[in-house]
Amino acid sequence: MSASSLARMLISVAALALTTTALAGPLRVGVAKAKLTPDKPGQWIAGYGENRPAEGVHDDVWTRAMAIGDGETTIVIVANDLVGLFYPDTREIAGSVPGVPADNVIITCTHVHSGPDVLGLWGPNRMTRGVDEAYLAMVKRRIAATIGEALANTQPAKLRFARAEAPPKTGYNCRERELVDPEISVMQAVTADGKAVGTLVNYACHPEVLRTDSRLITSDWVHYLREEMEPTGTGDVLLVNGALGGMVTPEIDAPTFAEAERVGRALGKAALEGLKTTEEISEADIGFERATFDLAFDNPGLALLAQLGVIHRTPSAQNTVQTSVIAARIGPAQFASLPGEALPKVGLAVKGLMTAKYRFFFGLCDDELGYLLHAEALDNPLYKYEQSMSANPQAVPLLMEQVKAAVEATE
Ligand SMILES: [Zn+2]
């Protein structure tokens, strides 16, 4: 073979390699955080009964953001220590951040039951809105600013993926013990100099160790998970909750901060243990899809509260609300979301749509439609409470159809 034909062949091999990998770019990641702790407590605490005024702060509540880009597509994942945020609010926040398409901003809430009310359901009584509007406005500004900061902080980075299993006596399903997703999925961003700047932990469990008699603002067990992990060099930890609905809750001896610490540290230790075996990538072709659609608003109690202005989630003339789901693929990991509190069986069904080794299910993502029930839970008296606290108890088949299409579009 002549030198020139060898050269031509090498060029065509190189061109082939280019076409097959052209879309994979070097990864860039940025992380940022800000406190959402009110300057002056006094807000109504959300999650349990009404009429719980905050009397102080035990530990801060946060917004934490991780921006991930491949040179072409950038997504931002946000984790807030809040009970939830409605879709109009998450889209307002996403739309106010320059430099990233609003659709690519994924806003989740840990569903903590010891933070200020930002939905409206936990005021002095059932019929009175519990939101401190100035606080909610501050929350929106601060989340948006933090997303902007995470984008500004992006730098060349690698992503590490890991898996772990929740240890005994952490989260458990108090309705049907065997129905639970014990998986802890972990994604860690590491800069070129080998320093971890952020670690996303995805695990399903209500942050509700502190109960209805507590009057202190706290991130609950999530605070201690971060306290356990961050001193070991994980960078900022983001907890994204999973399929915690009906009813995955901490298994505790008493509703005390000591028990919140035990649960949070045990989960943090498990995540750290998982990180001892990781798969690392430095480039990827990020696949991302958001499906936005209308869903029937089918809950007379919540409709009445919307009419009274207790919650700001007014259905359209057709009695629908807009909501959305996302799916993403980054190297050996897949991500998918639902806009509320998926029961474990529903979350596991979403994970079942994904074929990747590392699977992340984001609950309370971009919306809080209440409980998302699987078919057998619909007429089961065990789930009476969940049926009453769902914007549409029959929503899951439509949501599954939407999330399945989104997952397929990013495969
Ligand atoms: Zn809940």
What pLDDT score does 23 carry? 75
- In the chain, % of residues over pLDDT 70: 95
**H/E element holding 55?**
none
Mean pLDDT, residues 393-401: 97
CA–centroid distance, 356 to ligand 1, in Å, is 28
User: Model's pTM, two decimal places?
Assistant: 0.94
Mean pLDDT, residues 235-258: 98
CA distances from 84 to 40, 107, 108, 369 (A): 21, 10, 8, 9
Decide if pLDDT at 1 tops 70: no
Of 113, 203, 200, 173, nearest in space to 345 by CA: 173
Query: Sign of torsion, CA 310 311 315 316?
Result: positive
Separation between Cα atoms, residue 377 and residue 375, nearest integer Å: 5
CA dihedral 328, 334, 338, 343 (to 10 degrees): 180
Mean pLDDT, residues 258-286: 98
CA–centroid distance, 343 to ligand 1, in Å, is 10
CA–centroid distance, 81 to ligand 1, in Å, is 13
Decide if pLDDT at 302 tops 90: yes
3-state SS, residue 39: coil
Decide if pLDDT at 21 tops 50: no
CA–centroid distance, 71 to ligand 1, in Å, is 37
CA distances from 362 to 43, 84, 139, 254 (A): 27, 13, 21, 28
What pLDDT score does 41 carry? 86
Query: Sign of torsion, CA 362 132 94 78?
Result: negative
CA–centroid distance, 249 to ligand 1, in Å, is 9
For the chain, report the end-to-end CA distance as a whole number of angstroms: 41
Mean pLDDT, residues 366-393: 96
CA–centroid distance, 106 to ligand 1, in Å, is 20
Separation between Cα atoms, residue 183 and residue 306, nearest integer Å: 36
CA–centroid distance, 246 to ligand 1, in Å, is 8
Give the CB-side neighbour count of residue 152, counting CA atoms within 13 A.
10
Q: pLDDT tens digits, residue range 45-58? A: 999 999 999 999 99
CA–centroid distance, 242 to ligand 1, in Å, is 11
CA–centroid distance, 247 to ligand 1, in Å, is 7
CA–centroid distance, 220 to ligand 1, in Å, is 14
Q: pLDDT tens digits, residue range 210-240? A: 999 999 999 999 999 999 999 999 999 999 9
CA–centroid distance, 284 to ligand 1, in Å, is 35
3-state SS, residue 123: coil
The band of 5, judged by pLDDT with boundaries at 50, 70 and 90, is low
CA–centroid distance, 133 to ligand 1, in Å, is 22
